[in-house]
Structure 1
Amino acid sequence: MWVLKHLEPSDAKKKLRLFLHTLQSPIGIQAWFVRLHDLCAHAHVKTVPFELASKPVHKFLNNKLRSAQRSSILASHYDILLDVFGQAAVHELLAGRDFLLSTFAGRSGCLYELRLERSTAWLRREGELTCRLLAADCRTTIAMVSFAVGSASPGGRVCLWIGGFQGCARQDAKAFTIQVTRDLLGLRPKDLLMHVVYTLKDNLGGTDVKATSNAGHVSSKAHRKKKWSADYDLYWTERGGAADGPYIFDLPVHQHLRTVEDVAPAKRRAWRARHALIHRIVDDIATFHPARTASQT
């Protein structure tokens, strides 16, 4: 197979295991290899990232998904990126470069950035794209959301699949996150990322938003004896999500946003300032296109 011959340098045992997995699910995996060959040809990629080629044979996005579904989501994900962002942008993503979605200031004047990148390292199991909220001055990651956009079956509905949220990794993460929330006029970092997710869903032609539950998270078995630092089930329920079995939540097609009439008069000034910030960020992302955005490291 072309893909197996053009994988990036990796352990021979890993390549053998990948080959054996293709025998266990030959139709789905081989169909993914064909699409991956086409992707690399369109994006002018000569060496196939091993972890990308092997994604359908591992837990990815959600525990409920079968190998054929993972293959279908990945294939349609890159078809969409090629169509919307273009060949050059996909080449940049596969090369490990990121894109600046938005830059904005908090109440204190501190600058923040939203960056879109291909999911790497341990995040690659949670998605194929990651949006990262950064404090620009210290380059500290405040929060991240990992996802993919695609159809779980050929010709099916295109969904944005959220595989996981990650928070700040600093020792004082809780205090730092509270400080950032106050600086962003009361806008929680996770809630900000959800505005990004919904805007990208529309940009990429998605119809629905599906999110992993606690049980559906790809690391749930590894952490089943530990307390989750983030309760996905609770968060999705708060956002109007409905459980579709134990593994997946269906989120509303559009976010429910309060109007100024829903806010107490004493808090309306702060509400207007917060929503002006949200609208600015959403406008940046709605008009984002890699061809008009310089990739920065």
Structure 2
Amino acid sequence: MLGHVLKLGLRVSLKRAVVFSMRFARHPLLTVRWITFLSEFGEQYRLGLPHDDLVRKSIPTFFLHGASSGARLDLLRDHFDVASEVLSRRSLMALWRGSTLEMGTVSGRSENYRIQLQLADHCGARHEGAFAIRLRRQSDDFALCTVGFVFVRCGDEAYSLAIGGMQGPKGEDAKRSLITATRDLGGLRPKDAALLVLQGLVSEGHAACLYAVSNENHVINRRRLKRRKMMLADLDAYWFDRGGEPAGPFGFSLPLTDGRGVPEGNRREQSKRAFRDVGAWFY
């Protein structure tokens, strides 16, 4: 593992190598603790060497604004600890090495929608989670929604997950694409579909809720005002709309619903069940 880290600069761009070196110089103990965890965890589950983006994960800017670096490191440790229970070794190894996993496909009236699971670093959500799910339109691979998250412990016997951010599509056709997909799924919005996948993913965790980061606790708040203004989503409003309540330590708790529309229900209920089942059956 040490040799793998020392040769990082040969495998990544000069800019990324310099940033990693500067972070190591500024937070040497934190970086060593993280690399030590990666080494021990990878050896324990025989996962091989971690992807470079995991090695150079920015702990001081991860997930929760205002949290201590130690707390952020604990979040990542707990995430992988829970992931080893939720996912099969094969899936965990693939993610560990940077691969993208196909969780499943849901059909609308005229379009199919793929749900992928990958490292958050590989889909523009590196500060918002360790993993991320991405909902794509199958016909052209257009990304409709990306959600970064971490698995979290809820006491000794239960686990859930915490959402660090949600990102919609980009480009001139973004709004039109969301409207079209919503209609195609019987009125189910892509971000609601992604949330149902996450609910299914922790359906056996014996937890009462999901957690989500509030506007105030989002990591973008550490950035300059100009950068913060680029965040268009009002997370608080969406969490309230989904039945969420203000709660620590992330900002909100969201109720876990079964999401099981009856088979003969309308298109929206069928879509809800299909997306939740994608998460529930994935391992």
Q: Which residue of 2 aligns with 1:212?
A: 213
The 8 Å contact of residues 81 and 204 in structure 1, kept in 2 or not, is answered as: no
Larger C-alpha radius of gyration, 1 or 2?
A: 1
TM-score normalised to structure 2 length? 0.82
Cα deviations across residues 36-70 of structure 1 (Å, max 9, x unaligned)?
A: 11222234323x44442343533111213221111
Alignment of 1:243 onto 2:246: yes
Cα deviations across residues 187-223 of structure 1 (Å, max 9, x unaligned)?
A: 0111111111211123466664221122222123436
Q: Which residue of 2 aligns with 1:279?
A: 273
Relative to structure 1, is the Cα distance of residues 6 and 66 closer, same or farther in structure 2, using a 3 angstrom cutoff?
A: farther
**1:124 match: secondary structure:** coil
Aligned-pair CA distance for 1:142:
0.9
Question: Counterpart of 1:129 in structure 2: which amino acid?
Answer: F
Relative to structure 1, is the Cα distance of residues 279 and 189 closer, same or farther in structure 2, using a 3 angstrom cutoff?
A: same
Question: Counterpart of 2:119 in structure 1: which amino acid?
Answer: R
Relative to structure 1, is the Cα distance of residues 158 and 7 closer, same or farther in structure 2, using a 3 angstrom cutoff?
A: farther
Q: Which residue of 2 aligns with 1:293?
A: none
Correspondence 1:119-130 to 2 at 5 A? 119-121=120-122, 122-130=124-132
TM-score normalised to structure 1 length? 0.79
CA distance in 2, matches of 1:222, 1:191: 28
Cα deviations across residues 72-114 of structure 1 (Å, max 9, x unaligned)?
A: 111121122223323332221133222222212212x211111
Deviates more, 1:277-286 or 1:14-23: 14-23
The 8 Å contact of residues 32 and 72 in structure 1, kept in 2 or not, is answered as: no
The 8 Å contact of residues 29 and 67 in structure 1, kept in 2 or not, is answered as: no
Relative to structure 1, is the Cα distance of residues 230 and 215 closer, same or farther in structure 2, using a 3 angstrom cutoff?
A: same
Correspondence 1:60-209 to 2 at 5 A? 60-107=62-109, 109-121=110-122, 122-151=124-153, 158-203=159-204, 208-209=209-210
Q: Percent identity?
A: 27
CA distance in 1, matches of 2:223, 2:19: 21
Question: Counterpart of 2:274 in structure 1: which amino acid?
Answer: R
Question: Counterpart of 2:146 in structure 1: which amino acid?
Answer: M
Cα deviations across residues 117-163 of structure 1 (Å, max 9, x unaligned)?
A: 111243111111111111101111111111011349x9797441111
Relative to structure 1, is the Cα distance of residues 64 and 17 closer, same or farther in structure 2, using a 3 angstrom cutoff?
A: same
**2:125 match: secondary structure:** helix
Relative to structure 1, is the Cα distance of residues 73 and 148 closer, same or farther in structure 2, using a 3 angstrom cutoff?
A: same
Root mean square deviation of aligned Cα? 3.2
Relative to structure 1, is the Cα distance of residues 200 and 85 closer, same or farther in structure 2, using a 3 angstrom cutoff?
A: same
Question: Counterpart of 2:165 in structure 1: which amino acid?
Answer: G
Correspondence 1:19-98 to 2 at 5 A? 19-23=24-28, 26=29, 29-41=31-43, 42-46=45-49, 48-55=50-57, 57-98=59-100
Q: Which residue of 2 aligns with 1:16?
A: 21
Unpaired segments ≥5 residues, structure 2: none
The 8 Å contact of residues 201 and 280 in structure 2, kept in 1 or not, is answered as: yes
Relative to structure 1, is the Cα distance of residues 50 and 283 closer, same or farther in structure 2, using a 3 angstrom cutoff?
A: closer
CA distance in 2, matches of 1:179, 1:137: 13
Question: Counterpart of 2:41 in structure 1: which amino acid?
Answer: L
Relative to structure 1, is the Cα distance of residues 282 and 136 closer, same or farther in structure 2, using a 3 angstrom cutoff?
A: same
In the alignment of these two chains, the number of paired residues is: 273
Question: Counterpart of 1:279 in structure 2: which amino acid?
Answer: R
Relative to structure 1, is the Cα distance of residues 51 and 66 closer, same or farther in structure 2, using a 3 angstrom cutoff?
A: farther
Relative to structure 1, is the Cα distance of residues 147 and 220 closer, same or farther in structure 2, using a 3 angstrom cutoff?
A: same
